[in-house]
Amino acid sequence: MPMMVVHVVLSTVASVFSLVIIILVVLWRLKLRKVKKPLDGDQVNAEYEITSQSLETKKRLFTYAEVQWMTNNFERILGKGGFGTVFHGFLEGTQVAVKMLSLSSI
């Protein structure tokens, strides 16, 4: 009977040790992923330039009738949140997300 106890204890210790090693490796890899920095600062600037050129970030106000026309009478809802509902629409041939602010967000 003592030999069986030794096997159970060794199996348990080996399992716990393996689990701890696996957790440490996963945490180490996650930490490495967060710490990685670009080798060249120009790469970051190039990425920023591409994004800033491709996205127009101007806030524009439209009349209710214009919003109704852009969204095809509020046909397709993309999402709802605390600041209002977001609708899919088109503005001058370009797909847009149109946010209708709720009264509580003004």
Binding residue positions for ATP: 99
CA-based torsion, 76, 78, 80, 82: positive or negative: negative
Bind-site residues: 99
User: Per-residue b/e over 15-54, b at no fewer than 16 CB within 10 Å?
Assistant: eeeeeeeeeeeeeeeeeeeeeeeeeeeeeeeeeeeeeeee
Going by the DSSP 8-state scheme, the letter that residue 103 receives in this structure is G
